[in-house]
Structures are given as C-alpha cells and as structure tokens.
C-alpha cells in the first residue's frame, strides 16, 4: 500500500479544535466508566503528548499520537495490519504539531470537545462488538469517524476505509487481543518495563540528567517513561536506517527459508544441496 505522507503533512489545520473548555479531571471522571484500563492509558498518554509540545489542550492529533506510542496496543496493531507505516505517520503528526509552543495557550487544560466526542464514538464502537468499555482500537475507530478533526482528516486520507478498519478491529477482538491483558501479555509488559529500567540505569550521568529534566518538567512521570520515549524518538529519527535494516533482515529470512527448502529437498532425494545465492546487503 502506497501512502503519500507528504500530502498528510500538508493537510489543512483546524485551529478551533485547539481550545478546551472543560477541566481535565472533570473530563476524566466522565470517561472513566467508558474506558478500559488500556483505553485510559491512551488518554493519559495523549495528555503527555500535549505537554511535550507545550499545548494546553489535548487535540485529536495528540490522541492519535498516543495510539502510535506503544506498537502492541490495539490501535497500532490495526493500523499496522492495514499496511500503515507507524513511524512515518508518527513523524507526520509530530511535524504538524511542532515546534514546541507554536499553538495559542488559551482556555483550560483539558481535551477539546472534538477529542471527547471521538472517545465517546470509540465507546459506541466497543458496544457494537459487545464490550462495555473502549480499548485503544475502538478509540481509533472513534477518531476515524470524526471527519471535522485533524486526526480524522488524516485517517480519511489513508488508502483504507473505516469499514476495513472495523473489520480488523473485529478480528482483533475475536482473537481476544484487546480485552484485559492475559498473563502472558502482563509478563511481557513487565519484562519490557524491566528492560527500560535497566537501560535507564546504565546511561551516562549526562543522559540521566536529561531523563530527570523530562520528569522534573512534567513531560513524563518517571525516568522509565522518559527513557522509553527517547528510545522511540531515536527510532523515528533514524527511520531510513531501520527501513534498510529491515530490508536486510527480510533478505536474510528469505535466504534462511531457501536453505531450509534445499535441505528438505536433499533429504527427500538423497542429493547434496547446492548453496543458495547470497543476498546483496547493499541493495
């Protein structure tokens, strides 16, 4: 699937969405019965994204960025299954929102009305599938349904439809990937967290000071969260390198599969296999 990311980057902005009129805590109290633990995590991360850009209001773009923040949440999984390059989309959204402090700081600290509407529509999508509360993938559908928002307009420009996204969410829910975390998922999440903690403990004094600055300024709540964000930012900044690495990995996998196929043929015929052609790493 080919996506014109540059056209998404230049998509027209809707400045009236940048103002919130209801305080954050009041909004959270309203949303708590509608969201699962994972869904609430996405909303909290959306606020962190807004703070990162020094934005007072949480817009639909911040909410979409939050969905892209963790690659194994339901929203990110659905987009990836639809063929969307998450790193490129993250880069586009970050470019549209920045630089820091560009938007007018008016109103109160909270979500815009259209962001709240997107979350409520996400809960409607969850109810259609028999869930009481909305997970990240349902919030993604809610964003998709908001045509008069920045995130909704960007999603509408992707070469996939809302119905295709709904179908992927249905498949995800049927496989049980979106309900409460399983014991295996919880173990994996704990391992990932411990890995980030280990990384944060091994960095230099200067790098640790940068993590502490992110925590002290309120951009992130913990060192571990700040380290995870910096790692992700580094991946995004080196997207071209990772694309080349992934291409090379794909070639290695093809070579391995070819070698295994030759070995199976040799076993069945009793002949010695010939070596497969080596991939060209510079390709």
Q: Tens digits of per-residue pLDDT, 159-210? A: 889 999 999 999 988 876 544 333 334 433 443 443 444 454 455 656 767 7
Range of the domain at 101: 5-174
Within this chain, do residues 9 and 131 fall inside the same structural domain, yes or no? Answer: yes
Within this chain, do residues 20 and 104 fall inside the same structural domain, yes or no? Answer: yes
pLDDT average, residue stretch 99-110: 67
Predicted pLDDT of residue 195: 44
Within this chain, do residues 223 and 85 fall inside the same structural domain, yes or no? Answer: no
Within this chain, do residues 127 and 215 fall inside the same structural domain, yes or no? Answer: no
Percent of residues in the chain assigned helix, strand, coil, to nearest 5: 65, 0, 30
Q: Where are the alpha helices (DSSP H) in 129-238?
A: 136-145, 150-157, 162-174, 183-202, 205-216, 223-237
Whether residue 158 contacts residue 3, with contact meaning beta carbons closer than 8 Å, is answered with yes
Beta-carbon contacts of residue 129 (< 8 Å; ≥ 6 apart): 138, 169, 170, 173
Whether residue 273 contacts residue 266, with contact meaning beta carbons closer than 8 Å, is answered with yes
């Amino acid at each position: 699937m080919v996506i014109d990311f540059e056209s998404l980057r230049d998509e027209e902005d809707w400045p009236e969405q940048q103002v919130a009129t209801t305080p954050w805590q009041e909004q959270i109290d309203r949303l708590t019965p509608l969201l699962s633990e994972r869904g609430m995590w996405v909303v909290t991360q959306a606020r962190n994204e807004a703070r990162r850009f020094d934005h007072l209001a949480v817009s639909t773009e911040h909410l979409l960025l939050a969905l892209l923040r963790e690659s194994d949440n339901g929203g990110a999984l659905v987009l990836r299954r639809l063929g969307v390059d998450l790193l490129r989309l993250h880069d586009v959204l970050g470019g549209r929102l920045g630089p820091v402090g560009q938007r007018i700081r008016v109103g109160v600290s909270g979500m815009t009305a259209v962001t709240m509407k997107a979350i409520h529509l996400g809960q409607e999508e969850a109810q259609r599938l028999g869930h009481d509360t909305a997970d990240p993938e349902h919030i993604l559908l809610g964003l998709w349904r908001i045509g008069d928002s920045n995130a909704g307009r960007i999603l509408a420009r992707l070469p996939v439809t809302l119905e295709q996204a709904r179908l992927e969410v249905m498949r995800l829910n049927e496989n049980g990937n979106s309900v409460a975390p399983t014991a295996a998922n919880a173990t994996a999440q704990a391992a990932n967290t411990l890995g980030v903690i280990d990384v944060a403990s091994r960095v230099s004094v200067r790098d640790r000071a940068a993590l502490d600055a992110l925590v002290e300024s309120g951009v992130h709540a913990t060192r571990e969260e700040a380290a995870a964000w910096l790692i992700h930012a580094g991946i995004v900044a080196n997207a071209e390198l990772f694309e080349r690495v992934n291409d090379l990995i794909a070639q290695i996998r093809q070579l391995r599969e070819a070698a295994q196929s030759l070995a199976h043929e040799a076993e069945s015929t009793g002949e010695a296999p010939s070596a497969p052609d080596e991939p060209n790493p510079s390709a």
